[in-house]
Structure 1
Amino acid sequence: MSGEKTRRGARGVAVDLGVFAVGVFVYLFIAGERLNAGMPSPPWLFDVDMASGLLALPLLWLRRRWPVQAAVPLVLASTYSETIAFPLLVMLYAVVVRRPLRTAAWVYAASLAAAGVYIVVRPDEMPLAVSIGFGLSLHAAVAGWGLFSRYRRQLEARAAQAEQDERERARQRARDELARELHDMLGHRLSLLSLHAGGMEYRPDAPPEELARAAGVVREQSTLAMRDLREIIAILRAPIGELPQPRIADLHALVEEARPAMRIELAADVDGDVPERSGRTAYRIVQEALTNARKHAEDAPVEVTVEGRAADGLSVTVVNGPGRDGGPAPASSSGHGLIGLEERAALAGGRLEYGATAAGGWRVHAWLPWTA
């Protein structure tokens, strides 16, 4: 950023030097032409004109910061001076580019009025109509150029702002994706930890073998949760696409991991290689549905069905029986839950439905396109 500012500053100094050099050249050229054409009447007006043009040249350096303040004395001097023509036109251009259009209109009106006074004070050899037409054309050309530059800068500023907004939206999408990944990866394991730890707490009289098995599951899931957390922390600064992403083939491992605490039946009939995005979304749907079932329908049987082929798309269904209180699991176990899965399915081009079953359980069903 500092290098960009340095380049912009060096370019601005070069432009300022160039404008000042052109101003000096035009000043000397007009002075020379006037000496060849003859002195104005009265003769002392030439000396005043030369002094005014010389004093006008330093004002060129003020055109960026104070264009209106610098334009006012130039407009007044243009009632009698021809050597301030170039500084005046440059300042008029700066006013159009850098100040509100209403302010620019007032400055231009004053400049045109001053040009009318100049024609009276210093009549030219050219016909009056030609002088008026030339002055109007010159003002119109400078105003048109200024308006073009003004709107081009505005378009560039809007484009830069739109690019900045898009970068902010991309960062927000990345944060949302990371939040979903954290929820999906850790929520599943932490729910297993909570389930088995709760069993050990409320069943202290359970057989030693059962307590040892529950303690083993707690230890294993704690280790896996710490591993997942380390993986995510290690790549927080990496693109979201580099996060470890599950596939449809990982469903068997997911079910086996949850099976010690749940009664799960998995039926998978998939013909062909499932597209990466649809497979990842299907995995997360099953993972979230199992997590909800553990929380709200403990000990209830769960059926996971996955079917798919290129012609029909990918279908995922998770059905659990009623919980201990006889009611279904709520629609969402957390802020991300099934509502977040609806968003996942929609982003993948599919749809997700969920609701209570006639038997008092809960059903989650998703359809995902094969081309996602």
Structure 2
Amino acid sequence: MTRAGPEFRQLLPSAVADPELPGDRARPRRTVRDWVVDICVFVAAALIGLVTADTLDKAPGYSDTTLLLDQLAGAAACCAVWLRRRRPVGLAAALVVVSTVAPVASGALLVALFSLAVHRPFKPVVLVVSGAAVVSSVLQPLLRPDPTTSLLTSAVAGTVLVLLVTGWGMLVRSRRQLVMALRERAARAEAEGALRAENAQRLAREAIAREMHDVLAHRLTLLSVHAGALEFRPDAPTAEVARAAGVIRDSAHEALQDLRQIIGVLRSPGEGADDRPQPTLATLDALVAESREAGMKVALDNRIQDASGVSAATGRNAYRIAQEALTNARKHAPGAEVTVTVAGHPGEGLTVEIHNPPPPGHVPEVPGSGQGLIGLTERATLAGGRLDHGPGPDGSFTVVAWLPWPA
């Protein structure tokens, strides 16, 4: 006999362990369904008892006293059927003994055996009691023989009825266990589905947050730098003030456009999402020029001859990495010349390196969450590449990213 596989155990954990079912213990109060079922089984036990009493009354050899005692025992057994939910084991065991000498109680015994098989596991309770009932069905014709039926026929009929109602009860119990297991599995699947949906929402929010950080940090840093310059140099020349105001205006406009583009991802189709082109490696020159206009010293060493040969996804990742690194350099190393180096070949990968020397003079503390480099590392990892960053012994800082570039 083979063991049940893991799939079967997962489908029917209750059937394998055979724990108590919700109805194994009597409820504090009977429901309407309980009343209907109990009345039906009581009527069934009473009808079987009446048929048996009528048969015994017509059979010769029994005194009126014996028949009266049989009828009283049968009536008491039928009334005891109402205890089948609270005391299934005790009721079945008692009726096994009573029905051995009082055939009128046989109907109540069959009901008790059925209830016992439904509400108790097969081993050892049902096995022992049903085995005793089989023995009782063989002894009953010996103690109270039926003149109209042979001893063998009565013993076989009684044994078949005991096995039939016991097997029926076990089938009902197995079905209830299956239903309970399927309900538990459905509840687990619903809970797991809710967790997966929640996790997907969290990942989507994190992705949007990273994208907003990568896009808006650069623009907002430009706004902060030029606004700070206007604040601390109110006597600056008119041309310089106008240029700074123009940069602030352009940066605010670009920040709004980028924000509109990101929020467009959250809109449903047909709601007018912005279809502005995404940045690629070809727009890296514009990023460097924008940083230079903001007052940064940036040297670009682009060794890629044909930027259009780099895939859009790889170019966009390289652009975002350079954008975040330039933003960090502008905040933490103002006045230092930043070097951006882009190199690589198809099949070997694309390398982006941003290096800045230590800043000249004292640098005021700039607030930051520290999530930018973490987001860059995750972006590179998700793209199949890697990213390393860290300070040098002389106070410089370097960000090196490698991204796959298929041949």
| TM-score, normalising length: structure 2 | 0.63
Structure 1 residues 236 and 49: alpha-carbon distance in aligned structure 2, compared to 1, 3 A threshold: same
Structure 1 residues 75 and 238: alpha-carbon distance in aligned structure 2, compared to 1, 3 A threshold: farther
1:223 to 248, 253, 262: 253
Contact (CA 8 Å) 2:89, 2:116: kept in 1 or not? no
Per the alignment, residue 399 of structure 2 pairs with 364
Per the alignment, residue 43 of structure 1 pairs with 71
Distance (whole Å) between structure 2 residues aligned to residue 194 and residue 334 of structure 1: 16
* Deviations 1:143-170, CA, capped at 9 Å, x for gaps: 5555555544444433333322222221
Per the alignment, residue 151 of structure 2 pairs with none
Q: Does residue 336 of the first structure (1) align with residue 371 of the second (2)?
A: yes
Per the alignment, residue 284 of structure 1 pairs with 320
Structure 1 residues 34 and 307: alpha-carbon distance in aligned structure 2, compared to 1, 3 A threshold: farther
Contact (CA 8 Å) 2:350, 2:402: kept in 1 or not? yes
Q: Matched residue of 1:166: which SS?
A: helix
Per the alignment, residue 72 of structure 1 pairs with 86
Task: Show the 5 A alignment for 1:291-330.
Answer: 291-325=327-361
Deviation for aligned residue 1:324: 2.0
Distance (whole Å) between structure 2 residues aligned to residue 181 and residue 26 of structure 1: 69
Distance (whole Å) between structure 2 residues aligned to residue 182 and residue 91 of structure 1: 66
Structure 1 residues 308 and 35: alpha-carbon distance in aligned structure 2, compared to 1, 3 A threshold: farther
Contact (CA 8 Å) 2:117, 2:170: kept in 1 or not? no
Distance (whole Å) between structure 2 residues aligned to residue 142 and residue 271 of structure 1: 72
Per the alignment, residue 14 of structure 2 pairs with none
Task: Show the 5 A alignment for 1:59-208.
Answer: 71-78=85-92, 79-80=94-95, 82=107, 89=114, 93=118, 123=140, 125-126=154-155, 144-208=174-238
Structure 1 residues 335 and 359: alpha-carbon distance in aligned structure 2, compared to 1, 3 A threshold: closer
Mean Cα displacement is larger for which, 226-235 or 114-123? 114-123
Deviation for aligned residue 1:42: 0.7
* Deviations 1:122-149, CA, capped at 9 Å, x for gaps: 7474369878877776666555555555
Which amino acid counterpart does residue 360 of structure 2 have in structure 1?
R
Which amino acid counterpart does residue 251 of structure 1 have in structure 2?
L
Mean Cα displacement is larger for which, 306-315 or 140-149? 140-149
Structure 1 residues 91 and 344: alpha-carbon distance in aligned structure 2, compared to 1, 3 A threshold: farther
* Deviations 1:199-228, CA, capped at 9 Å, x for gaps: 222233332211110111112212332343
Which amino acid counterpart does residue 323 of structure 2 have in structure 1?
Q
Distance (whole Å) between structure 1 residues aligned to residue 124 and residue 246 of structure 2: 88
Distance (whole Å) between structure 2 residues aligned to residue 276 and residue 21 of structure 1: 72
Q: Matched residue of 2:231: which SS?
A: helix
Contact (CA 8 Å) 1:246, 1:280: kept in 2 or not? yes
Distance (whole Å) between structure 2 residues aligned to residue 253 and residue 292 of structure 1: 18
CA RMSD of aligned residues (A): 4.6
Distance (whole Å) between structure 2 residues aligned to residue 309 and residue 89 of structure 1: 80
Task: Tell me the number of residue pairs that the alignment of Structure 1 and Structure 2 aligns.
Answer: 328
Per the alignment, residue 6 of structure 2 pairs with none
Per the alignment, residue 101 of structure 1 pairs with none
Mean Cα displacement is larger for which, 175-184 or 30-39? 30-39
Distance (whole Å) between structure 1 residues aligned to residue 41 and residue 274 of structure 2: 65
Q: Which runs of no fewer than 5 residues in structure 2 stay unpaired?
A: 1-30, 57-66, 96-104, 142-153
* Deviations 1:243-288, CA, capped at 9 Å, x for gaps: 9783424433333332201232332515654344433322221111
Per the alignment, residue 293 of structure 2 pairs with 260
Contact (CA 8 Å) 1:271, 1:309: kept in 2 or not? no
Structure 1 residues 26 and 281: alpha-carbon distance in aligned structure 2, compared to 1, 3 A threshold: farther
Distance (whole Å) between structure 2 residues aligned to residue 263 and residue 307 of structure 1: 20
Per the alignment, residue 20 of structure 2 pairs with none
Deviation for aligned residue 1:189: 0.8
Whose Rg is larger? 2
Which amino acid counterpart does residue 325 of structure 2 have in structure 1?
A
Q: Which runs of no fewer than 5 residues in structure 1 stay unpaired?
A: 1-15, 57-69, 96-103
Mean Cα displacement is larger for which, 353-362 or 341-350? 353-362
Deviation for aligned residue 1:290: 0.8
Q: Matched residue of 2:203: which SS?
A: helix
Which amino acid counterpart does residue 232 of structure 2 have in structure 1?
Y
Deviation for aligned residue 1:85: 5.4
